[in-house]
Amino acid sequence: MDPDRGRAVRRRHKRERQAVVFGLLIAALAVGALGAVAVFTGGIEAPFSRPFTTQEPTPLPVAAPPPCPPDGTLPVAYGEVQVTVLNATDRTGLAGQTAEALAARGFAIASVGNATSAVPGAARISFGPAGVGAAYTLAAHLEGARLVLDERTDASVDLALGTGFVGLLDPGVILLDPSTPLTGQDGCVPLAEAQVSPPPVDAAPEPQPEA
């Protein structure tokens, strides 16, 4: 056989084998795609019984309901409300500015510092059973403050300012009458039923005016 003709024959056979291999691969891919579409649309059952699952999101902790003020609890005179103001944001000077504004309204500022943990929302007011009246009196000056009962034995309150804090309410919209009992927040429960959590550790031991 002529050498050139032999090489041509071998090249033709090689191309034919390649065409057959590629044809089989394309056919297999097409069959696989059709099968996937059929499983996805429910035309045929999947070859496995375990359903596809997604990880359930971790539920957020549910905040304990605040205590209602006991019947007949009146607003506390501002000068008798001992407030520790804490900055739970990255806004330098926020606690000091807010403490000055509260002092201008007559509140007694115990200290100013930085919170050790983030506070969602506008603010958190922490207090013990003896400070329910003081906490509600202070809360009347803030929009959206969350009340948190702890185990302290005195009537002091801690005000931790959160990322949603925009400032104290205008005095003209604060509805506190010294002779009218305080009204509980929505969802509050009797003081005896309120869940008591460990006392917060946010308070700074020394005043920090630049907080």
Is pTM beyond 0.85 here? no
Give the domain extent around 136. Answer: 78-193
Pairing of strands 108-114, 123-127: unpaired
pLDDT, mean over the chain = 82
How many independent structural domains does the chain possess?
A: 2
User: Does position 41 have pLDDT exceeding 50, yes or no?
Assistant: yes
Identify whether residues 176 and 137 lie together within a single domain: yes
Identify whether residues 146 and 94 lie together within a single domain: yes
Q: Residue 177: what pLDDT?
A: 95
Residue 6 lies in a domain: yes
Identify whether residues 85 and 166 lie together within a single domain: yes
Identify whether residues 123 and 40 lie together within a single domain: no
Residue 53 lies in a domain: no
87 in Cβ contact with 113 (< 8 Å):
yes
Higher-pLDDT residue of 33 and 159 is: 159
Identify whether residues 85 and 43 lie together within a single domain: no
Local confidence band at 210 (pLDDT 50, 70, 90 cut-offs): very low
Residue 65 lies in a domain: no
Higher-pLDDT residue of 26 and 117 is: 117
Local confidence band at 45 (pLDDT 50, 70, 90 cut-offs): low
Q: Residue 60: what pLDDT?
A: 43
168 in Cβ contact with 141 (< 8 Å):
yes
Identify whether residues 122 and 180 lie together within a single domain: yes
Identify whether residues 93 and 174 lie together within a single domain: yes
pLDDT tens per residue, range 89-111: 999 999 999 999 999 999 999 99
Residue 202 lies in a domain: no
Residue 29 lies in a domain: yes
pLDDT tens per residue, range 13-40: 667 776 766 677 777 777 666 666 565 6
